[in-house]
Structure 1
């Protein structure tokens, strides 16, 4: 009866012709999203947590090519619903996910045009979300969105962790400033020919409101739409949705019926709660893959790092128009591939990534450009694909293929089905697909690069690539991608996306700071797992001709081990060279043992940019793994082991920073300590400056 009366009240308010208000609360009643219409028929929303307004009334609506959908709306109908269900993941940070929300849907009509528009708001215990829907209607069979008016008018100048947005690249450092100073705190060097703005940031954008309140803005279920950036309006403390355009200025080309991605605001009382949130996953549809037995998680190694550190090349003879020196030979030879396969087989690693195995690299232009130079199936002259794949199969290992498209979508997309089918028939199960360079750039046609990586054109392509791979039972790692928005639930064959300033920046730039890895779990990884590349045992790198700064990794080796837990991926890469792992096989044992699929994940300590401690339970066992990392400051932390299964005794194998370790002068020593523990125990862990600690908790017997 209460629900009926509530809906009746809303309809009565709407029919009054003046203004309108409605709201929906989360199941625990802490989070609230409200919607309102003023006397001019303009749409607004606001967000509160425990009665405290977090986002003030903020504008909703669109500018279409033919119509302005800014005001003049009236309510046709309002409905509310609640759902509380659970679903099983194929892989992930937890085995079972609860999907419990309350939803309000407001059906609107613009009086002047008769255009119909629906707005749905959902409230979860871990945040709120809203999206627009254009139902079927004659006037909007086809239409073009020229601006999404969605704004985020904050109730305070919160502390934010953000990075500059452009329309093609997420590989940026993170800054920490008040919202009002986004774009104002650092010098911004614009890339020639790129549409970049110093006052625009990527999502997820994470903010700290108070010691006990944090939020993160992102989007969920991005399908056939443009990626959203956030523009600093410098009008109060307000950010506005800034969609990535087509080259002619259109933002989204579409037709009704359609719905936008969800605009998500994760809400947490502790920083670790953001990481544990499942809202973005829940806002995506269930798996579209009916039989998923072929999808699984694993670890991999490969030739990638020797190429980035100048020890070998992707090309055979010429790279970017220059002859390769003898000190930098072609890396993807049959002989070198077998060397990595032998190492993987010896240590139980399932996949070996081979980059540079195809012809075409010698024809690549500077800045990773090329058009029609790859066919992704003709091997280099010194690489025998059949021999390598058969050799790997005989060792119980698989070759992971690399398809560098150079964003030559014109040629790659028509061949995907054949390429993935052929790869599967050769025993390849995972393909890394890269999209460096400008989309469809052809140097013979001035200004020919067609579209942006983060616009609707490429969003469509990335989705088609995943779907085509699924059809052929191929799993994908995607580099230079569109950001994750939870679509791994719908297409779990998409294992990881890069979309981040990753490990390669340690080789050819001033590198990633010690705090970089303590920011990513609270920002980029909130959307989904990243392919960051971890596990470096040699942190002082060789002199590289193209490096402008001292090439080195700004962490201890123990921190590299901890990254396997804190830097979530279902297919992490042990990125270093085999010879450096062989130098410290005792520490390498953690990489061999660590699981890649989890039934539970918990955050024990967390402060964005400072430190993070996580524990994860291996799926199908009682074994747990811990990873703890810090920024440039040394720390001592106390770990309560009450997450362990009660009644079971565990052998803890601890991989700790050595005495007096720090990332600058003493990064290598890893002390390996073993001790028996139970859920009633505590551990005191010491993290060196730029360091970390990794622990395996192996169940050994029932405790007496």
Structure 2
């Protein structure tokens, strides 16, 4: 009998410490995420697609201040459920979004500390996701996360597209390498002066596992947490979450109950399938606003490009500590000229930068403290008169707020500022966050990072405050998009990438850059790239040791209105470059809101073709772009309405077009086609094609 009880005790101890596994599959059964507690109570997850292992067992958990939550867990219970719905977008790449997933919540408790932690898993047909939750409990109330232990242990050293992480800026060149070489500063150019982190990349990170399997690692519903970067652990193809810190080293300051953002693994049989995925949006809460009638999409022009190319200046007298060499750009007179052009061509908004006091006071950099008040106009700009004149022409001013990341002053002023904008008839504000966060000239220090929890909270508050005054937001120098346009649909676009302005004063963006963005940065949400440049040869800078120019063709700039998705795109060039140019008709015509979007073809960094249906009509539009290589495609038009014939206007590269030698050569032709026809597309090196299908 004594032997029996000893054996029973051993058996019970073994049962309590034996591995426990949970498996969750997508509705179609193809995608699978598994959760396992090993014999030490340490949680791991793994991911597979059609039985092909993508992520091998990967560690989970946290390092809290004074507590480690990495092992010693037991399972308290679990629940599974299935969720299926369709929801309507206010604007977007499609009108109706299907949201269908299986869900499992596993409740854990760490035996030593008594701390409870949930792991929530979701499996969609287009990927899987998980997040951590801490329910209300006595053992854990206010706490600080010092490290998130989540890892991504790939099953092979696959090809990846990435850019260097830094904690304040996403405006980076994209590189291609094996996963094991991500962030290798000996092989890829890194700018240490800009705090680009060695062996670390931003998300979304896109990976080609094999010819018919592509993956993107990102996050969703980032609202009160630190932005996630990915650290190369230098252990093969294993990456680890690395959160952007507060300056004292804390990563996240929080309280139970709370959920982390979702850690997302989008999965597709092609690169284009990642573009068509709605999983990131589906992992965000529904729209937070009862009334959305005031939210709309449209195109805009602006007093902006001339500032970047050096035709005029932001400041009146001195800029960055030196006397200006060009006249101030944002005068009442010049603004009215832009308004006249917009009114003539049916463009609702005119962005105006440099209209306010403060630009003269910056001392050599995009930093400062208390420089702007965002209400006081320059001496040669009459804000009320410009808004009155715009209204008389059926146009609005789009106001620019350059905060220079002076959050201590900007955030308390937002409510009164946004009320002022609403009262002036303004619908959209573009808010920029250049410079160091809360920089103080007296101490020569800054106090936060752009991608940390402090600024994540601010970006959210900024959008919510704007909504209280029925204002829409375009955000520059932002935190990355993680699908929150579903919850806050007045957040129209974010920059968060090397945009068009880099072509005006740097070595510029390569012809392949715009063919990488749809498969990387834009997977998170819409971009403010500012396309539509028609004059590729720009004034040369006296200090430049490189050719200042746009590495594109006009036809490609037109195609960008479709391939670089934004519900509020800018026609960025000077108005005089659009006058009498027939290619401008496409910019005037192309819609900004869509019923459906279908990727026709795509290879990351090489070519991309997408077709979009105008919301509320049978009209379709197609954009196709390429890198430095010329390409020919034959595109079946089976996406068109089979009961309709279409007048098709093709804006293509001319026979002798070339991004380097002849970028302005455009051929425009009209044909009649239908759903059973095939469209032949010819792209010049660095070129593109834009096509309008108008139902007859």
TM-score range, shorter-chain basis?
over 0.9
Using the alignment, how far apart are the partners of 2:350 and 2:663 within structure 1? 27
1:662-703 CA-to-partner distances (Å, cap 9, x unmatched) read 101011011110011111111111000000000000011xxx
After superposition, where does 1:105-116 map in structure 2 within 5 Å? 105-116=105-116
Work out whether 1:579 is the aligned partner of 2:576.
Answer: yes
Match of 1:674 in 2: 670
1:55 and 1:153 in contact (8 A); partners too: yes
Partner of 2:128: 128
| Residue 361 (structure 1) aligned with residue 359 (structure 2) | yes
Alignment partners' CA distance in 2, 1:457 and 1:187? 31
- Quote the residue 1:661 is aligned against: 657
2:279 equivalent in structure 1? 279
Shift of 1:236: 2.3
Secondary structure class of the residue paired with 1:138: coil
SS state at 1:519 partner: helix
**Alignment match, 2:270:** 270
Contact kept, 8 Å, 2:17 with 2:40, in 1: the verdict is no
Which residue of structure 2 lines up, in the alignment, with residue 379 of structure 1?
377
Q: 4+ runs of 1 displaced by more than 6 Å?
A: 12-15
Partner of 1:6: none
**1:650 and 2:651 are equivalent in the alignment:** no
Q: What is the rounded CA distance, in whole Å, between the counterparts of 2:144 and 2:694 in structure 1? A: 57
SS of the residue 1:139 aligns to: coil
Equivalent residues in 2 for 1:532-551 (5 A)? Answer: 532-545=529-542, 547-551=544-548
For the 8 Å contact 2:31–2:48, the answer to whether it is kept is yes
Distance 1:682 1:634 in 2: 20
Query: Matches of 1:187 and 1:29 in 2, distance apart?
Result: 40
- CA displacement at 1:156 relative to structure 2: 0.4
Give 1:494's aligned residue: 491
Query: What is residue 244 of structure 2 aligned with on the other side?
Result: 244
> Partners of 1:555 and 1:253 in 2: how far apart?
45
Q: Which residue of 2 aligns with 1:424?
A: 422
Q: 1:13 to 1:154 in 2, by over 3 A?
A: farther
How far 1:309 sits from its partner (Å)? 0.2
Of 359-368 and 82-91, deviating more is 359-368
Partner SS for 2:421:
helix
- Deviation string 1:273-294 (CA, Å, 9 cap, x unpaired) is 0000000000000000110000
**Are the counterparts in 2 of residues 481 and 498 from structure 1 also a CA contact under 8 Å?**
yes
**Which residues in structure 2 correspond to 1:81-480 (within 5 Å)?**
81-184=81-184, 186-192=187-193, 195-325=195-325, 328-447=326-445, 449-480=446-477
Do the aligned residues in 1 keep the contact of 2:656 with 2:665 (CA within 8 Å)? no
Q: Distance in 2 between matches of 1:390 and 1:236?
A: 62
Give the distance between the partners of 1:263 and 1:383, measured in 2 at CA: 47
Q: 495, 519, 524: which one pairs with 1:522?
A: 519
Partner of 2:8: none
C-alpha distance in structure 2 between counterparts of 1:583 and 1:65, whole Å: 65
Shift of 1:187: 4.2
Instruction: Write out per-residue CA displacement over residues 170-205 of structure 1, whole angstroms, 9 at most, x where no aligned residue.
Output: 00000000000112263444443x543221000000
Taking the aligned partners of 1:663 and 1:648, their CA distance within structure 2 comes to 36
1:531 maps to 528
- Could you give the per-residue CA deviations for residues 1-46 of structure 1, whole angstroms, max 9, x where no partner exists? xxxxxxxxxxx99964311000100001000000000010001000
Contact 1:650–1:677 (CA under 8 A) maintained in structure 2: yes
Distance 1:128 1:648 in 2: 39
Is 1:513 the counterpart of 2:510 in the alignment? yes
Match of 2:24 in 1: 24
* Deviation sequence 1:107-143 (CA, Å, 0-9, x none): 0000000000000110000000000000001222100
Instruction: Measure, in 2, the Cα distance between the counterparts of 1:226 and 1:339.
Output: 44
1:307, distance to aligned residue in structure 2 (A): 0.3
Partner of 2:591: 595
The one of 611, 615, 624 equivalent to 1:615 is 611
CA contact (8 A) 2:92 2:594 kept: yes
Question: How much is the aligned-residue C-alpha RMSD, in angstroms?
Answer: 1.2
Cα drift, residue 270 of structure 1: 1.0
CA distance in 2, matches of 1:632, 1:308: 25
- Paired with 1:256 and 1:14, the residues of 2 have a C-alpha distance of 32
1:545–1:288 Cα change, 3 Å: farther
Whether 1:560 aligns to 2:557 is yes
Q: 1:150 to 1:346 in 2, by over 3 A?
A: same
Are the aligned partners of 1:188 and 1:198 in contact in 2 as well (CA < 8 Å)? no
- Looking at structure 1, the residues matched to 21 and 235 of structure 2 have their Cα atoms a distance apart, in angstroms, of 25
Q: Deviations over 1:459-505 (max 9, x none)?
A: 00000000000111000000000000000000000000000011111
Q: What are the residue-to-residue correspondences of 1:42-57 with 2, within 5 Å? A: 42-57=42-57
Equivalents in 2 of 1:52, 1:89: separation in Å? 34
Whole-Å separation in 2 of the counterparts to 1:349 and 1:541? 25
- Kept in 2, the 8 Å contact 1:14–1:20? The answer is no
Q: State TM-score, norm by structure 2.
A: 0.97
Show structure 1 runs of 5+ residues with no match. 1-11
**Following the alignment from structure 1 to structure 2, what is the Cα–Cα distance between the partners of residues 288 and 347?**
35
Structure 2 residue runs of 5 or longer lacking an equivalent are 1-11
Asked if the contact 2:73/2:111 (under 8 Å) is kept, the reply is: yes
CA distance in 2, matches of 1:114, 1:540: 66
Preserved contact between residue 349 and residue 398 of structure 2 (Cα < 8 Å): yes
Q: TM-score, normalised to structure 1's length?
A: 0.96
1:7 is aligned to none
Q: Distance in 2 between matches of 1:415 and 1:377?
A: 10
- 8 Å Cα contact 1:509-1:548 kept in structure 2: no
What SS is found at the alignment partner of 1:589? Answer: helix
Change over 3 Å in CA distance of 1:426–1:14 after alignment to 2: farther
Q: How many residues align?
A: 684
| Pairwise CA distance, 1:366 | 1.7
Displacement of 1:507: 1.0
Cα distance in 2 for partners of 1:602, 1:147 equals 40
Counterpart contact for 1:14–1:75, Cα < 8 Å: no
SS in 2 for 1:140: coil
- Whole-angstrom CA distance in 2 between matches of 1:23 and 1:105: 11
Q: Check whether the contact 1:317–1:324 (CA below 8 A) recurs between aligned residues.
A: yes
Deviation at 1:583, TM superposition (A): 4.3
